[in-house]
Homo-oligomer: A and B are copies of this chain.
Amino acid sequence: MRVTVLRLGHRVERDKRVTTHVGLVARAFGASGMVLTTPDEKVVESIRRVVASWGGDFSVKVEPEWRRVIREWRGTKVHLTMYGEHVDERIDEIRAAGRDVLVVVGAEKVPAEVFQLVDYNIAIGHQPHSEVAALAVFLDRLFQGEELHREFKGRLRVVPSPRGKRVVES
């Protein structure tokens, strides 16, 4: 099962840091790539730099035709929104289907159409919080925590430590 994250409604400058967090979370929590609908070189570069140093084959693409990305997706389409069904009610079904998953993550306003184009509108709780957190918890539930033990085989690697920072370079 491969997962791609579609980031909708990114506003250049204003959302630069949050969208970078979305991309880094997608990678660190086991997704294979991110599609940005607004070109933003700074964001793309930040994420690619992390991939270059820390490993994995995470891809970042820009595709302004987001409707097409959703419509043509072969697999399960999930939109994360606080208005949707609770993740705990649907996550087993989504995982069991075993199909590739497109996770749609919006910025502030998401077109109403998105709610109709996907298979599932899923809430990580029904309180307002953050698309970064929603994505992390969704992927953590989908991969049942195993994603946080995956090896990335990059040039840089952390040696876990109770105090201080240890990084080895290979």
Contacts and interface: CB of A to CB of B under 8 A. Distances in A.
A48 interface: no
Contacts of A167: 83
A155 to B, nearest CB: 13
Q: Dominant SS at the A interface?
A: mixed
Interface in A135-170: 135-137, 140, 145, 147-149, 152, 157-158, 160-167
Given A28-B125, A116-B163, 19 more contacts: A24-B130, A25-B130, A28-B127, A28-B128, A29-B129, A29-B133, A83-B158, A83-B161, A84-B161, A86-B160, A123-B160, A124-B148, A125-B148, A126-B158, A126-B160, A129-B136, A133-B135, A133-B136, A137-B140
A148 B133 CA distance: 12
Interface residues of A, number: 54
Contacts of A165: 81, 83, 115
